[in-house]
């Protein structure tokens, strides 16, 4: 159901494949580590693109609400529409902060596993809501192909699956809470009490 980005996707079938031992990544059984190290950063770049898409949804919705009048009231003057857009504004900013927090941890040399998981869960779900709200405010126009909203709506659905489904990332967070105890909430800022 996704758009045709990155040239699309295909199925690969491996039948009797043999790989020379010289091509082994790390040691036997540890190759996944290589992939996972790359994935932490990749998930953040997903989040950056998704935040941009969420902002685009808000822009398109605001633009329409500013020039659509029904029963003598501009859509942008309706409180319910203002609340929808205000909620998205706050959620986008939270998403940006979570991405910055994870990037900071990576810059410090950490794996940022829990920080990346939090950013990925939040921004994936935010993108979903932003596309949905954008379509809602645009009415039938949002459902049509007149704007990029329907494209974003289809694209958004994969965000909660790719590079780890929501449930998997939430389990990772719970695992960190169990192993770190109260340190889970600690921000390693110089001079701050732990
Ligand atoms: C558009 C798109 C692009 C992709 N691109 C890439 C790519 O570039 N590289 C790549 O390697 N992969 C890619 N993937 C694969 C993607 O990472 C997987 O689809 C995703 O990790 C989910 O795995 P799965 O499809 O095997 O679902 P499953 O593992 O079968 O999971 C199905 C559902 O079960 C639930 N679930 C799974 N595990 C758990 C658990 N431990 N606890 C609780 N619930 C669970 C979740 O709700 C999940 O959505 C892509 C997928 C899509 C749709």
Mutate which of 36, 42, 163 for ligand 1 pocket (most atoms within 8 A of beta carbon)? 163
Class of domain 43-179: mainly alpha
What is the chain's mean pLDDT, rounded?
Answer: 93
For residue 1, what pLDDT is reported? 76
d(CA 112, CA 169): 13
Q: What is the largest CA-CA distance in the chain?
A: 73
For residue 31, what pLDDT is reported? 83
DSSP secondary-structure letter at 192? Answer: -
Q: What confidence tier does 34 reach under pLDDT thresholds 50, 70, 90? A: confident
Q: What confidence tier does 190 reach under pLDDT thresholds 50, 70, 90? A: confident
Please give the number of the atom of ligand 1 that sits closest to the Cα of 160.
49
d(CA 49, CA 106): 18
Atom 39 of ligand 1, nearest CA residue: 168
DSSP secondary-structure letter at 74? Answer: E
Q: Give ligand 1 pocket residues (Cβ under 6 A).
A: 2, 9, 158, 161-165, 167-168, 171
pTM of the predicted model over 0.85: yes
* Under 8 Å between Cβ of 174 and 85: no
* Under 8 Å between Cβ of 172 and 117: yes
The ranges assigned to domains in the chain are 43-179
Q: What is the 3-state secondary structure (H, E, C) of 137-155?
A: HHCHHHHCCCCCHHHHHHH
Query: Position of tokens 């990029």?
Result: 148
pLDDT, tens digit (0-9, with 9 covering 90-100), for 148-189: 999 999 999 999 999 999 999 999 999 999 999 999 999 887
Mutate which of 3, 37, 161 for ligand 1 pocket (most atoms within 8 A of beta carbon)? 161
Pick from 91, 98, 127: which is nearest to 115 by CA? Answer: 98
d(CA 147, CA 57): 10
Phi and psi for 4 in degrees, rounded to 5? Answer: -90, 45
Q: Please, what is the Cα angle at 97 between 110 and 89, to 5 degrees?
A: 160
């Amino acid at each position: 159901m996704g758009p045709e980005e990155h040239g699309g996707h295909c199925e690969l079938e491996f039948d009797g494949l043999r790989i020379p031992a010289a091509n082994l990544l790390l040691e036997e059984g540890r190759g996944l580590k290589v992939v996972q190290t790359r994935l932490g950063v990749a998930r953040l770049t997903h989040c950056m693109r998704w935040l941009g898409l969420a902002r685009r949804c808000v822009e398109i919705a605001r633009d329409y609400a500013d020039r659509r009048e029904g029963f003598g009231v501009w859509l942008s003057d309706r409180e319910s529409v203002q609340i929808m857009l205000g909620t998205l504004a706050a959620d986008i900013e939270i998403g940006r902060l979570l991405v910055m927090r994870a990037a900071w941890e990576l810059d410090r040399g950490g794996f940022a596993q829990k920080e990346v998981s939090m950013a990925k869960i939040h921004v994936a779900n935010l993108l979903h809501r932003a596309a949905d709200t954008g379509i809602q405010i645009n009415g039938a126009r949002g459902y049509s192909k007149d704007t990029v909203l329907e494209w974003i709506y289809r694209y958004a659905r994969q965000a909660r699956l790719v590079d780890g489904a929501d449930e998997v990332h939430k389990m990772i967070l719970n695992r960190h809470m169990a192993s770190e105890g109260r340190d889970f909430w600690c921000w390693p800022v110089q001079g701050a009490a732990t």
